[in-house]
Amino acid sequence: MHYSKFALTLLAAATAAALTGCGEEKKPEPAKKAAEAPPPPPSIEIKIGHVGPMTGQIAHLGKDNENGARMAIDEANAAKIKIDGKDARFVLVAEDDQADPKVGTTVAQKLVDAKVAGVVGHLNSGTSIPASAIYNQGNIPVISGSATNPKLTEQGFKNQFRVVGRDDQQGPAIASYLAANAKPKTVAIIDDATAYGEGLANEVEKTLKEAKVKVLPREKGTDKTTDWKAVLTKIKGKKPDAIFYGGMDATGGPLVKQGRELGIKAVFSFGDGACTEEMAKLAGDAAEGLLCSQAGIPVVAADKAFLDNYKKKYNVDPILYAPFTYDSARLLIEAIKKANSPDPAKYLPELAKIEYKGATGTISFDEKGDRKDAEMTIFTMKGGKIEPIAVIKGGKTIPIADFIAMMAPPAPAPAPAPAAAPAAPAADAAKDAPKAPEAAKEAPKADAMKK
């Protein structure tokens, strides 16, 4: 077959065009604009401070207090609270004051500078009192779950609260119980020279003297004293029937241990700072039978849900004041919710007038910031365990079993009896009735039998 020159030229051009088209890369289509994600909901971060001794001799009590406050913060975040239409995220800002007044004021200023909305703490009266002036100047509400010296709320600061009783309530409680049950004729009193220890010892001495009990001249140590032999040898010669120590367990444990080693038979008694099972670890069998008080209800009487959740979260039981620091943090959060604002100037009035059912019972404050109708508990050491004996409330001594029964939530009402089954509809009843013809057949037989 012969092709003309013109035809061959056309064929070559067509072939080249086809090859060019096949090898040409397609330009990518412009990417579709991704759908814009909706903006995140507005949020607000609310800082709550906590201060306690996280290092040193009583760090175990500081950690217990912090655990209570932290659990309240975590629960609030899980509840997805909204404040002023915003998702609230609460943050615990934890500080260590080492149970040292100077460090206490330093960390108080640090929290004020951090613009926390409120503070739970401090553990000790000796750090709480000097720090309170700084919080007052910064207009920061603060609630202590464990500081008991009366001076804390006697300064006229409107931002200072506490959810435990005072030493002028606790001192008379342990002194009166000691006088009524141990019936001592002579009592020796020792304190650790701190605001807490000395203040509590003063109240015990005052109550004992009013009860016509002889009180020996005061003996003193420090909050770091662990060698009490000289003091105890001096006391032993005066043969007291009871000894009261105002101080913490880290120093109280060695005191009772050395007292028994010296052959002192007196009843040893303590305030809340030494009302822990740490005493048995430090003093061994010498701690058996001691008496002590706590400015509040015993841990065992706290809300069961709180106790169960605490154990689940930390794998230990609360030691002493964790239920109270938990309530302290919850109170701050509740007041913020009521005011719909974390601004202290706006929520402080709500906090002052609050009435709240917490893990330690119903809480409200008097005009000084003290808890109204605060309880006191008396304990003894038995088998290495601190066991509550009685609760003192409104001047009345209530056996512990009776008090726990009072605190327990009411039993749920019995479930209503199940409703009677509805009557079968007429149509269904007809299905179950004997068929008419069969019934008719039976009728003549019955008549015949009657005859």
DSSP secondary structure of 287-310: GTT-EEEESS--GGGS-HHHHHHH
Take residue 65 and report the two structure tokens written for it. Answer: 């207090």
Q: How far is it, in rounded angstroms, from Cα 189 to Cα 204? A: 8
Q: What is the pLDDT of residue 38?
A: 73
- Compute the distance between CA of residue 224 and CA of residue 297 in angstroms, rounded to an integer: 28
User: What confidence score (pLDDT) does residue 412 get?
Assistant: 67
pLDDT digits (tens, 9 = 90+) for 346-399: 999 999 999 999 999 999 999 999 999 999 999 999 999 999 999 998 888 899
- What's residue 29's pLDDT? 54
Domains and CATH numbers, the chain: 43-164+299-372 (3.40.50.2300), 168-294 (3.40.50.2300)
Kind plus residue range of the DSSP H or E element containing 231: helix 229-236
pLDDT less than 70: residues of the chain:
1-37, 409-451
Phi and psi, residue 191, nearest 5°: -135, 165
Q: Partners of 144 in the beta sheet?
A: 162
Cβ proximity of 144 and 161 under 8 Å: yes
What are the pLDDT digits (tens) for 247-293?
999 999 999 999 999 999 999 999 999 999 999 999 999 999 999 99
Where would I find the beta strands (DSSP E) of 216-319? 219-220, 242-246, 267-270, 291-294
Of 305, 412, 325, 348, the residue nearest 64 (C-alpha): 325
What's the confidence (pLDDT) of residue 407? 75
The torsion of the CA quartet 335, 341, 343, 348, rounded to 10 degrees, works out to: -30
* pLDDT at residue number 421: 52
CB atoms within 10 A of CB 70: 22
**pLDDT value at position 8?**
43
